[in-house]
Amino acid sequence: MEKKFFVDEVVRELNERGYSAQIAEVSKNGVPHVGVTVGEGVVRPNIYLDSFYDKDCSVADTVDKVIELAESHKLSDDDADRYTSFINDRDYCLENAKIVCSKANTYQNCINRQENGLTLTVVIDVSQSDIGRATCRVTPQLLATMNISEEELWRVAKANSEKDVEVKGMFDTLKEMMGYDPAFMESSEDEKMLVVSNHSKCNGAYSVFTETAKAEIKKRMNVDEVIIIPSSIHECIVVPHTDEMSMDDIARMIQEVNANEVAEEDILSDAPIAMAI
C-alpha cells in the first residue's frame, strides 16, 4: 500500500468513526512527517503516521491507536484556553523567549537567522507551565501580536538563553548517562572534551554560542580557539583547536556518526565550526 493511500484511508476511517481528522504535513528540523490532526478547536494533537506505516500496521489498527493517543492528549476547554493564553501574553512570551538551532535553511516561515551554517529561530518555552514540555516558534504573525521589533525579540531571547547554559566534561556526561564511571575513559581527560547544552538537554545546541558558555569553556580549557562538533540539535561537543587538527577529518567523523548514530530529525550539521573564545 502506498503511503499516501494509507494516510488517506486512516483519515477517512477516523471521520467515519466520528472524529474530525485532517492530514497534517509537518517538517521537523528539515525532516518531513505526515500525520493527522484530530479533533476540534485551536489546540489539537498532531499524530504522526510514519511509524505505523513503516511497521506495516493495518489501517484499522492504526486508527485504533490514533484514537487512543488523541483521547489521552485531549485538553479540556479550560486547559486549551490556558495554553493559548501563554501565546497571547506578551510579558510571558518575552520572559520565555529563547534561541534554538536547527539545520541550515529550515523553519524559514518563522523568525530566523542563518549563522555558522545553521538556522537560528526564536521559540517561546512553555515548559514552566503546567501544560508540560512544549515550545512555540515565533512567526511573523505572533511577533506582530507581541508588539515588539524583531531586533528587540532577538536581544531578549539571547539574554534569556544566556541564563540556561550547562557545560559538562565528557567523563561526567557519560557517567550521568550510563549511571557509572565509563571504564574506557579517565576523569583526568574530562576537560579536553566538553559537552554544552541547556539544563533540560532539549534543543540546547545554541547554548554553545552564548557568552556564558564561552567564558566557562575558556576557564576550563584555557585556550583561545575551539572546535565545535554539532553532535545534535540538543547539544554540542567542544574540543581545543590545535594545529594538528584537520577540519576535513573531523567533518568526515561527524558525517559518519550522523549517518549511523543520530536520528535524522536530530541532526544539526555535518560540518565542524571553529570559534574564538
Give tens-digit pLDDT for 59-108: 999 999 999 999 887 777 777 777 677 777 899 999 999 999 999 999 99
For the cut 70, the answer to whether the pLDDT of residue 36 exceeds it is: yes
Q: Output the pLDDT for position 134.
A: 75
**What is the rounded average pLDDT of the residues 34-54?**
87
Q: Is 95 found in the same domain as 122?
A: yes
Cell reading at 17: 468513526
Percent share of the chain, pLDDT over 90: 72
**What is the rounded average pLDDT of the residues 258-265?**
96
CA distance 107 to 140: 12
For the cut 70, the answer to whether the pLDDT of residue 122 exceeds it is: yes
Domain boundary residue, one of 25, 45, 74: 74
pLDDT digits (tens, 9 = 90+) for 165-201: 999 998 777 767 666 666 555 555 556 899 999 999 9
Q: Output the pLDDT for position 183.
A: 58
**What is the rounded average pLDDT of the residues 230-242?**
96
Of 77 and 224, the structure prediction assigns the larger pLDDT to 224
- Structural domain count, the chain: 3
Of 45 and 3, the structure prediction assigns the larger pLDDT to 3
For the cut 80, the answer to whether the pLDDT of residue 42 exceeds it is: no
**What is the rounded average pLDDT of the residues 133-140?**
86
Q: Output the pLDDT for position 131.
A: 53
Q: Is 58 found in the same domain as 137?
A: no
pLDDT digits (tens, 9 = 90+) for 147-171: 899 999 999 999 999 999 999 998 7
Q: Is 25 found in the same domain as 67?
A: yes
**What is the rounded average pLDDT of the residues 50-64?**
95
Q: Is 99 found in the same domain as 47?
A: no
Q: Is 190 found in the same domain as 156?
A: no
Domain boundary residue, one of 74, 89, 112: 74
User: Alpha helix locations (H) across the chain?
Assistant: 3-16, 50-54, 59-72, 77-88, 90-95, 140-146, 150-162, 170-178, 211-221, 247-260
Q: Is 185 found in the same domain as 120?
A: no
Q: Is 99 found in the same domain as 26?
A: no
Judged by DSSP in three states, 145 sits in helix
Q: Is 185 found in the same domain as 209?
A: yes
Q: Is 238 found in the same domain as 172?
A: yes
Q: Output the pLDDT for position 186.
A: 58
Q: Is 220 found in the same domain as 157?
A: no
Q: Is 157 found in the same domain as 57?
A: no
Domain boundary residue, one of 143, 162, 181: 162
**What is the rounded average pLDDT of the residues 44-50?**
88
Q: Rounded to whole angstroms, what are the CA distances from 99 to 29, 81, 236?
A: 14, 26, 15
Chain centroid offset of residue 158 CA: 17
The 8-class DSSP code of residue 147 comes to T
Give the pTM: 0.85
Q: Is 126 found in the same domain as 67?
A: no
Residue 4 class from Cβ within 10 Å (0-12 exposed, 13-18 middle, 19+ buried)? exposed
DSSP conformation letters of 224-268: SEEEEE---SS-EEEEE--TT--HHHHHHHHHHHHHHTS-GGG--
Task: Please provide the size of the chain in residues.
Answer: 277
Domain, as residue range, for 25: 3-74
